[in-house]
Amino acid sequence: MRTLNACLLFSAMLALALSPVLHAQQSAAADKPSGAAKVAHPAPAPRRDISGIWGPEDVMEGIAPRGVQSHAPFTEFGANLANKVYKPGDGPRKAPITEVNDPLDSCDPAGFPRDLLFELRPFQAVQTPGRMLMAYQYQQIWRTIWTDGRALPKDPDPRWYGYSVGKWEDDYTFVVQTVGTDERTWLDNAGDPHSADMRVEERYHRVDHDTMELTVKIDDPKTYTAPWLARDKIRLKLMPQDTDILEMICAPSEAEEYKKTMVNPLAK
């Protein structure tokens, strides 16, 4: 009995000692990458599995308010869109706020691949037979990546989020090809354009159980003189399984109220 009491006392003390740590971990579970990075030796990556909730290790790198870090030179078509048509709110060609014509301001879809190049926040990869689903916090949208072996369509009609097929290049690298995007969308927050002929490659390389690298390659010869990397191994951390992917929706009525209150007065 004495041994039992001592054991219970020790357990209670241990629980009290650990409770701040547990509480801190639970608080962090809301929408931040897991504390798994603190583990000295993360478990090895599972084979052919990227399912789970992932978030950029560096939140601001995921949001990328200024747009991509660099890109290949524009073609004449690309330069015309970038310099004369698109008026971004940020980046090297930032326009006065009254001239900004970013499609997101009226709640148009971010589209693909802008959903990976701007406001990349937590998203969930769901592997199911024949397809991979990607569910994103920003704009609360999802896209389908076909994994049933089908080919890309040869002359696809445009879609906001394109048409995607994916396959495992090796046990830890999932590669996605996308065509058929909608050229009304921008690539990023800096008003970098693309054409409907763009082909995008995403590479999801799972480094270990808790870490993944995402690389996004843009191949759009109508708009850029060479293929280029819009994301180069951005690090994603596996988030707790019970992470609540929060709602982040552009509602036209809210956007209009914001414009009326916060933007229009600046034009006076």
Partner 1 sequence: METKPLRVLSTAVLFAAVCAPLAAHHGFAAYDESKQLVMKATVTEWLWANPHCFLRFDAADDKGQVVHWAAEVSNPIDMTRRGWTKRTLNPGDHVTVTIRPAKNGAPIGQLLKVELPSGQSLVGWNPGTR
For residues 236 and 200, what is the distance between their CA atoms, to the nearest angstrom? 19
Contact flags string 118-147 toward partner 1, x per CB under 8 A: xx-x---------------x----------
Helix (H) / strand (E) containing 231? strand 228-238
Q: How many CB atoms lie within 10 A of CB 198?
A: 23
Q: How many residues sit close enough to partner 1 to count as binding (CB under 8 A)?
A: 39
Question: Are the C-beta atoms of residues 126 and 135 closer than 8 Å to each other?
Answer: yes
**Residue 214 beta carbon to partner 1: minimum distance, rounded to whole angstroms:** 19
Stretch that binds partner 1, among 116-124, 162-170, 203-211, 231-239 (CB under 8 A): 116-124
Question: Are the C-beta atoms of residues 202 and 176 closer than 8 Å to each other?
Answer: yes
* Count of helix runs (H) and strand runs (E) in the chain: 5, 9
Contact flags string 205-244 toward partner 1, x per CB under 8 A: ----------------------------------------
Binders of partner 1 among residues 43 to 102 (CB under 8 A) are: 59-60, 63, 65-66, 88-90, 94-97, 100, 102
Helix (H) / strand (E) containing 268? none
For residues 268 and 263, what is the distance between their CA atoms, to the nearest angstrom? 10
Q: Which of 177, 189, 211, 223 binds partner 1 (CB under 8 A)?
A: 189
**Residue 100 beta carbon to partner 1: minimum distance, rounded to whole angstroms:** 5
Task: For residue 182, give both structure tokens.
Answer: 């909608």
What's CA 229's distance to the chain center, in Å?
Answer: 15
**Residue 167 beta carbon to partner 1: minimum distance, rounded to whole angstroms:** 33
Binders of partner 1 among residues 13 to 42 (CB under 8 A) are: 30-31
Q: Label residue 101 exposed, middle or buried (CB < 10 Å: 0-12, 13-18, 19+).
A: middle
Residues that bind partner 1 (CB under 8 A): 30-31, 59-60, 63, 65-66, 88-90, 94-97, 100, 102, 104-105, 118-119, 121, 137, 189, 246-251, 254-255, 257-258, 261-263, 265-266, 268
